[in-house]
Every structure is written in structure tokens, then in C-alpha cells.
Homo-oligomer: A and B are copies of this chain.
Amino acid sequence: MFELGLGIVALAGLLALAFAAVLTAWILKQPKGSKKVSKLSDIIHEGAMTFLNSEYKPLIVFVAIMAIVIYLTPIPNAAALAFIGGAFCSALAGNIGMRIATRSNARAATGAKKEIGRGLKIGFSSGAVMGMTVVGLALIGLTIVYNFFPDPEIIIGFGFGASSIALFARVGGGIYTKSADMGADLVGKVEEKIPEDDPRNPAVIADNVGDNVGDVAGMGADLFESYVGSIISAIAIGFGGVTIAGTSIPGEDAILYPLLLAAFGVFASMIGAALVRPGKGSDIGSLHNALNKGVFGSAILMIIFAYFLTNHFLDTLGPFYAMVTGLGAGIAIGLTSEYFTESRFRPTRSIAEASQTGPATNIVSGFSVGLGSTLIPVVSVCIAIGLSWYFAGLYGIPIAAVGMLSTLGMTLATDTYGPVNDNAAGIAEMGGMGSEVRTRTEKLDAVGNTTAAIGKGFAIGAAALTAIALFSAYIDKVGIEAQQLSINEPMVMIGLFIGGLLTFVFSALTMSSVGRGASSMVKEVRRQFKEIPGILEGEAEPEYRRCVRISTRTGLKNMLLPGSLAVVVPILVGLWSVQVLGGLLAGAIITGLLLAITLANTGAAWDNAKKYIEEGSLGGKGSEAHAASVIGDTVGDPFKDTSGPSLNILIKLMAMISLLFVPLFA
């Protein structure tokens, strides 16, 4: 029975990969467009692969060192193997996702030339390849590891591998993308007054590469980690069996249940993806509807599937309710992000209005919107914690996280759709595809901005719930008495403070890296404008690759300090006191969630306030309000795309390490 279950899970994983392969074949059959367009896409592709390949070097070193560390500590040796496997699967998923994304951008632009819905379809399919590859590799990896080593201590190694790649991809990619973006904007838009994505700007390719490196590979690795982490924490807590309201669930069932939920999620996601059929309507609303049908369709299907699964497989419906709570929290967080960051609604409008009195009021108003936007997401997380515990005890928390992430194949597809169509819009501009195509790709990009904002909110929520699940598993496993973990214990309080502190210091490091990277980029762009004759007249080609190199170097160099902080501090603190480490994890999760939401929503709201003005409101382009809103947008770049998302990794990674290294601390 157990083997049969694992088999179904592995099969679901294979099916997901097959689905991704079919979509890939379809995408590659689409016309790539004119020679110029095709060449632009190739340069972006090449830049993105250069970054990935450069990233692999420090990454392999890191994985090798950590594998040795795991091998030398009292953690079972096979965990080192699982760790390498996890790292490999995550890196592979990112590689495939980015390869396809950078092959789809020109095709999406060319598709949009024919019909706007075609552009959406190509962008979405590219995202679905990423989504399905992530869940497919995760499920296959987990079942293989568990099949050979049915021991939670070893499977945690797999999760830690995923965490390590996520760290490099999110932090390094986040620094990369925003150094390029800020640098491009500061000289191009602000100093030289040339438009966004103008081919005369030497940093424009680096900026477009950044969208892939940060928003595709970074987001994918982030959610791969959450997906794997939520399942692993359920296995860690479920191992040995759990009792829910008097009904006992044997260990094997408690382990298989989250895996089966995830497997059913694959089917729900595939059906959801098939529901995304853009009609003839070309307005933003109907494009949106096409994507929403997929997201909500798969969520509803998932609830139905999960109900039958739980009813047949377990003797209690408790875990089903827990799972629904998680799914509900995910949707609530996503919708809140939409409300706070879309210019249709009051908050972003108020930022646009505040821009009329200059950049200072734009910044203050944006930041206060971001701070206030934490209310509903945090309350949603609290409700999810409370209810999932109420319905299924400690086991309920990871199950809620699994529920939130079960339809990841679909949600990640809509997230990744954003950067692909952002690239498509850039290529349409750079490739001179004409104003109509430009308008169409911009519409597709606008839809993508919303899905990206929702996706960011969802990623934060998923990270928080996964981290809480991993934290619960850590406490469960470390086996200290509850009274020693009282918030009134000075050691616990110190831990809470250090945990909160880490999130602030980590954000400071990532943010200042972007600042420094943007500075180097500004200098290089200024140099090229000065030294290359005819560049501003469009007669000479800028040296794009030099800018790509600067971003790559900045991203790789600056991820080391925050990255090692995230890895080394929990281990050192754990060696000192498992009490302090418990406090540290709780403090980091709480403060990290708040800070991540604030940074993400502030940045997105600034971005859309600017877009709102650019659409002609409050004076439109060229007005004082517009100039102010451009500054807010630029400040928001590292907020929403570097520091905010990096916090997701920090809180999960620290919880994962703590859980893995329990045998060393004990």
C-alpha cells in the first residue's frame, strides 16, 4: 500500500515533466520573429546562461563544503547524498525554467503581433513549463530519496539542498537584477531622458537578463524550496504517527498523505492550465480573466480532490480542513497584494496623488501604504495557524503549508508569465516592432505586473507558513521541555531578538549591495555614453556585454556575506543553546514576514503609481508628479525584488538548517 502510494506520487511527478515537455515543444514551434528580434532574444538568453554558469562555480564549492560538514557531523551520512540531490534538482529546475523563458520572450512578442491572446498563451505556457518542472522534479526527488532512505533525517538533507540553491538564486539573482535595473534607469531615464527598454541604453540587456535571473530563476527556486520544505516538515512531524482528536494516523499514512496531496495538485494544476484560454477580447480585464480561470479553477478542483482523498485515505477530515485553511490564506494574501499595489484601488492612487507634492511625499506615502499592507496577510497567517492546529494539531501546520502550495504548478505558471512578457515588451521596443505590437505587449506586461505582485505575496505567505512548519518540526525534534521555551525565559527572549535582528541586517546587506551595484552600473553607462561616439544617436551599438558582466559580478560577490550569515548563524547559535535557536527562528519568521510584505508591497505600489501617472493621470509623463513617481519606483526596485524576496529564503533556510542539524546540537 505504501509503495503503491509512493508510486502514484512519482508517476504524478513524471506526468508533470511530460506536460512540461509537451509545452516546450509547442513553444519552440512558434515563430521567433525577425532577425533583429531573434538576435535580441539570443543576447538575453546568452546573458542569463552566463549568469547561471558563473553562479554554478561558487555553488558547487558551497555544496561540496556543506556535504562534507553534514558527513562529519552526527547527521546520518546519507543526508549528504540527499543534500546533493536536492541541490541538483533545484538547480536543474531553475536551469530548464530559465532556458525556456529566454526562448519564449521573442516568441511571445511575435505571437502578440499576430494576436494579443497568442502572446498571453506563449508567455503562460513558458511559465507552466517552469511550474511543472519544479513540482515534477520535487516529487520525483522526494520519492526517490524516501524510497531508498525512509528516514526523515535524510530527507531533510534534500530540503536543505533546495534551500541552498534558493539562497544563491534569490539573493544573487535579486542583487543582479536590481543593480542592472536601477543603473539603467538612473542614467537612461533620469539623466538622458531616453525611454525604458531603449536599445541605446548599454544596461538594457542586463536589465532584461535580470528579469529572468531574478523573477524566473529566483522565484522558481524560492517556491521549489517552499514546496519541498512544506512536504518535508509534514513528513518529519508525521513520522511515527500522529493523533488527531482521538483518531490516530499511523506513520506511513501521515507521511504519504502530504505527498498524495501534492500529487493530486499536479492533476489540478494541469487541468487549471488547460483552462487558460484567452478569447478574442484584448482588454486587460479579459486577459486577466483567462489567467484567473486557471488559478481559481485549479484551487477549486484541488479542494474537491483533497476532500475525496482525505475521506478515503484517513479516518478523520481534520487534515483536509487544515489544508483548506492554508489554501485560503494563500489566496487572501495574494488578493491583498493586488489591492495594495494595483492603481485601480485607493492605496496606490493615494501614492500617485502624494507624488504631486514631490518625491518626499511619494516616498513617505508609499512606505506607509507598505507598512499598513501587512494587516490582512499577517491576520490570514494567524488564522491559518490557529485553525490548522485546531483541526489537526501540530500536524495541521505543515499540512496547511502543503495545501497552500499544492497547486504550485499553476500558480508558478502565472508568476513566471510576468517576467516573460516583461521581456517581450522590452524586445518589442528594442526590436522596433512598431507601436501596435508595443501597445499589445505592454498590456500583456501590465497583466503580468499584477500576477507578479500576487505571486510575490503568495511566495511570502508560502515561505512564512513553510518556515513555521519547519520550525514546528524543529521544536518537535529537538525535544526540549515546553517550559524552557517560554517567552519569559531570557534565553528565548534573546533568541527572539537575534532572529528579528537578522532579518533587518540581512535586508540592509542585500539593499546596500544593490546600491553599490547600481553605482558601478551608472558609472559604466555614463562612460559608454561619453566614450562611444554616436551611441545616443543610435548609430553605434552599446557594449551590452560589459554591463551584463558588471551585474553578474555584483550579484555573485555580494550574495556571499548575507548568504553565509543565513547558514552560519543558526548553526553557531544552535551549538550554544537550542533554546536561543528556537527563539531565533520564531523571531526571524515574525519579523521577516512583516518586513518582506512591507518591502514587496511598497515597491510594487510605487511601480504602479508611476504607471498610473504615465497612463495620463495627474499630469502624465513629463509632469512633476511623474518625476517624483519615477524616484519612488527606483527606490522600490531593491525593496520588492531583492531584499523582500530574499527574506523568504532567509526564514526558510534558517529553519531548515536548524532542523537538519538537530543531531549535532543534541
Is A402 positioned at the interface, with any CB of B under 8 Å from its CB?
Answer: no
Q: Which of A453-488 contact B (CB under 8 A)?
A: 468, 472, 475, 481-488
Residues of chain B contacted by A368 (CB below 8 angstroms): 507-509, 511-512, 515
Residues of chain B contacted by A508 (CB below 8 angstroms): 368-372
Q: Could you tell me if B631 and A374 are in contact, using CB atoms closer than 8 angstroms?
A: no
> Whole-angstrom distance between the alpha carbons of A493 and B491 in the complex?
17
> Given A483-B486, A514-B364, A586-B487, are A509 and B372 neighbors across the interface (CB < 8 Å)?
yes
> Whole-angstrom distance between the alpha carbons of A500 and B592 in the complex?
10
> Given A504-B598, A591-B591, are A382 and B511 neighbors across the interface (CB < 8 Å)?
no
- Chain B residue nearest to A501 (CB atoms) is B378
Residues of chain B contacted by A489 (CB below 8 angstroms): 482
Residues of chain B contacted by A292 (CB below 8 angstroms): none
Among the stretches A80-88, A116-124, A353-361, the one at the interface with B is: A353-361
Is A236 positioned at the interface, with any CB of B under 8 Å from its CB?
Answer: no
For A487, give its contact among B370, B372, B583 (CB under 8 Å): B583
Q: Could you tell me if A371 and B507 are in contact, using CB atoms closer than 8 angstroms?
A: yes
Per-residue CB contact flags for chain A residues 499-537 toward chain B (1 = under 8 Å, else 0) read 011001101110110110011001000000000000000
> Whole-angstrom distance between the alpha carbons of A522 and B381 in the complex?
40
> Whole-angstrom distance between the alpha carbons of A372 and B565 in the complex?
14
Residues of chain B contacted by A360 (CB below 8 angstroms): 182, 186, 190, 631, 634-635
Residues of chain B contacted by A583 (CB below 8 angstroms): 487
- Chain B residue nearest to A503 (CB atoms) is B594
Is A587 positioned at the interface, with any CB of B under 8 Å from its CB?
Answer: yes
Nearest-Cβ distance from residue A327 to partner chain B, whole angstroms = 19
- Chain B residue nearest to A489 (CB atoms) is B482
Q: Could you tell me if A386 and B635 are in contact, using CB atoms closer than 8 angstroms?
A: no
Residues of chain B contacted by A663 (CB below 8 angstroms): none
- Chain B residue nearest to A488 (CB atoms) is B475
> Whole-angstrom distance between the alpha carbons of A593 and B483 in the complex?
25
Nearest-Cβ distance from residue A32 to partner chain B, whole angstroms = 36
Q: Which of A383-406 contact B (CB under 8 A)?
A: 385-386, 389, 397
Q: Could you tell me if B381 and A497 are in contact, using CB atoms closer than 8 angstroms?
A: yes
Q: Which of A630-660 contact B (CB under 8 A)?
A: 631, 634-635, 638
Is A582 positioned at the interface, with any CB of B under 8 Å from its CB?
Answer: yes
> Given A492-B487, A590-B497, are A363 and B361 neighbors across the interface (CB < 8 Å)?
no
> Whole-angstrom distance between the alpha carbons of A421 and B631 in the complex?
34
Q: Could you tell me if B490 and A482 are in contact, using CB atoms closer than 8 angstroms?
A: no
> Whole-angstrom distance between the alpha carbons of A382 and B504 in the complex?
16
- Chain B residue nearest to A592 (CB atoms) is B500
Q: Could you tell me if B496 and A594 are in contact, using CB atoms closer than 8 angstroms?
A: no
Nearest-Cβ distance from residue A207 to partner chain B, whole angstroms = 15
Is A365 positioned at the interface, with any CB of B under 8 Å from its CB?
Answer: yes
Residues of chain B contacted by A468 (CB below 8 angstroms): 493
Residues of chain B contacted by A365 (CB below 8 angstroms): 512, 515
Residues of chain B contacted by A638 (CB below 8 angstroms): 364
Is A664 positioned at the interface, with any CB of B under 8 Å from its CB?
Answer: no
Q: Could you tell me if B372 and A512 are in contact, using CB atoms closer than 8 angstroms?
A: yes
Is A14 positioned at the interface, with any CB of B under 8 Å from its CB?
Answer: no
> Whole-angstrom distance between the alpha carbons of A638 and B368 in the complex?
10
Q: Which of A141-190 contact B (CB under 8 A)?
A: 182, 186, 190
> Given A364-B638, A375-B505, A598-B504, are A490 and B358 neighbors across the interface (CB < 8 Å)?
no
Q: Which of A561-594 contact B (CB under 8 A)?
A: 582-583, 586-587, 590-591, 593-594
Is A379 positioned at the interface, with any CB of B under 8 Å from its CB?
Answer: yes
In addition to A360-B635, A368-B511, A378-B500, 16 A-B residue pairs with Cβ atoms within 8 Å of each other are A182-B360, A186-B360, A190-B358, A354-B515, A361-B515, A364-B635, A368-B509, A372-B512, A378-B501, A385-B490, A482-B482, A482-B489, A487-B492, A487-B583, A497-B590, A591-B594
**Pairs of residues from A and B, 3 with the lowest C-beta to C-beta distance, nearest first:** A372-B508, A482-B483, A371-B508
